[in-house]
Amino acid sequence: MSQQEPQSPCIAVCALDENDVCIGCYRTADEITDWFMLDAEAKREIVKKANERRDEQSGGVRLL
């Protein structure tokens, strides 16, 4: 069973914080740069990590 390739989590709020993490999508600068070269599984892992970063910064509160 094939899974669809994840879409980019970019929300067009593109600015890196002091840790090189985007304040819009919570991906690192390297993850953003590498996105188009990665396979679907690697992209899913990045989305998972980005969600974890967002949850950590927001204390688990999701605004959207």
Is residue 63 a part of any domain in this protein? no
Could you tell me the residue range of the domain that residue 42 belongs to?
7-58
Q: Is residue 16 part of a domain?
A: yes
Whether residue 1 is contained in a domain is answered as no
In a domain, 41, yes or no: yes
Residue 43 in any domain: the answer is yes
Candidates 42, 58, 16; CA nearest to 24 is 16
Looking at the structure of the chain, the number of domains it has is 1
15 within domain boundaries: yes
CA torsion 27→43→35→37, rounded to 10°? 160
Query: Does any domain span residue 2?
Result: no
How confident is the model at residue 63, as a pLDDT? 55
pLDDT digits (tens, 9 = 90+) for 13-60: 999 999 999 999 999 999 999 999 999 999 999 999 999 999 998 776
Contact 24, 15 (CB under 8 A): yes
Within-domain flag for 12 = yes
